[in-house]
């Protein structure tokens, strides 16, 4: 079987060094997620698990040009601390940690870095710093949640709740049913929107996320502009996550 390892941690230092020396590695993904309550029925690793999957599959599409840093599995989840088991870090610590990981990739010689996010609570903290970080690092740096790449038509024709990503509802439950059904504890499900979830909906949405993220990477490597604002989908609208305006 062809060698399609994409995680930095799965390579030896010899392999990584040789790939860098030959110029084959052109971009890196830094996955950011969360370990936080996901309602009664989803395992708390959801966001980290899902974003790692999308990062890995997108990198494989561009193999061997893209590597994936070890996922950052704890994010900014202060809003869920009433549900014990949630793990959180202060937003300034989170941002600086992400910065240092990106800086490590820059020091290795990688000039295109995509921070790929899978948790809503990480968006505003990083968006506040991203321009400054890009300037300080001097690389082509982007921050993007994997759902930013979705076509609104696909979202609203698939999600009966008209909402994405939401939180532990129809979307996240559907994608987990498709990716790892054993992580969906249906007997404990109390959320009505989560009840709309199906494996088929998850399968419809995973492929386009991987394809969309791969496209962002192609464009970054080619030095092309990427026009994908940080968004959330609700009530038939695509809403900018920072300004709160429809886009």
Number of residues that bind Zn ion (CB under 5 A): 3
- Range in contact with Zn ion (rule: CB under 5 A) among 39-47, 101-109, 196-204, 234-242: 39-47
Asked whether position 170 contacts Zn ion by CB under 5 A, the answer is no
Nearest approach, Cβ of residue 168 and Zn ion (Å): 6
Q: Give 102 or 176: the residue with its C-beta nearer to Zn ion.
A: 176
Q: Give 17 or 185: the residue with its C-beta nearer to Zn ion.
A: 185
Q: Kindly report the three-state secondary structure assignment for every residue of the chain.
A: CCCCCCEHHHCCHHHHHHHHHCCCCCEEEEEECCECCECCCECCCHHHHHHHHHHHHHHHHCCCCEEECCCECCCCCHHHCCCECEECCCHHHHHHHHHHHHHHHHHHCCCEEEEEECCHHHHHHHHHHHHHHHHHHCCEEEEEEHHHHCCHHHHHHHCCCCEECCCCCHHHHHHHHHHCHHHECHHHCCCCHHHHCCHHHHHHHHHHHHHHHHHHHHHHHHCCCCCCCCEEEECCEEEECCCCCEC
Asked whether position 148 contacts Zn ion by CB under 5 A, the answer is no
Which positions from 172 to 201 touch Zn ion by CB under 5 A, shown as an x/- string? Answer: x-----------------------------
Nearest approach, Cβ of residue 156 and Zn ion (Å): 20
Nearest approach, Cβ of residue 171 and Zn ion (Å): 9
Task: Report which residue's Cβ sits closest to Zn ion.
Answer: 47
Nearest approach, Cβ of residue 204 and Zn ion (Å): 18
Of 28, 47, 173, 206, the one binding Zn ion by CB under 5 A: 47
Query: Which residues of this protein are in contact with Zn ion, per CB under 5 A?
Result: 46-47, 172
């Amino acid at each position: 079987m062809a060698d399609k390892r994409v995680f930095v941690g799965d390579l030896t230092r010899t392999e990584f060094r040789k790939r860098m020396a030959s110029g084959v590695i052109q971009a890196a993904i830094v996955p950011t997620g969360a370990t936080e309550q996901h309602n009664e029925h989803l395992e708390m690793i959801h966001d980290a698990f899902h974003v790692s999957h999308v990062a890995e599959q997108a990198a494989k599409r561009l193999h061997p040009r893209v590597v994936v840093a070890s996922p950052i599995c704890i994010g900014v989840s202060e809003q869920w601390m009433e549900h014990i088991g949630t793990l959180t870090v202060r937003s300034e610590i989170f941002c600086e940690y992400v910065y240092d990981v990106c800086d490590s990739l820059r020091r290795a010689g990688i000039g295109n870095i995509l921070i790929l996010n899978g948790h809503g609570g990480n968006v505003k903290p990083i968006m506040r710093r991203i321009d400054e970080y890009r300037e300080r690092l001097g690389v082509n740096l982007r921050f993007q949640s994997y759902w930013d790449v979705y076509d609104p038509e696909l979202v609203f024709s698939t999600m009966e709740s008209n909402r994405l990503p939401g939180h532990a509802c129809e979307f996240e439950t559907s994608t987990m049913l498709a990716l790892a059904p054993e992580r969906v504890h249906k007997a404990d499900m109390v959320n009505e929107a989560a009840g709309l979830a199906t494996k088929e909906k998850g399968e419809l949405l995973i492929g386009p996320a991987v394809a969309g993220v791969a496209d962002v990477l192609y464009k970054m490597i080619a030095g092309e502009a990427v026009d994908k604002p940080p968004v959330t989908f609700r009530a038939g609208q695509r809403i900018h996550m920072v300004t709160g305006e429809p886009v």
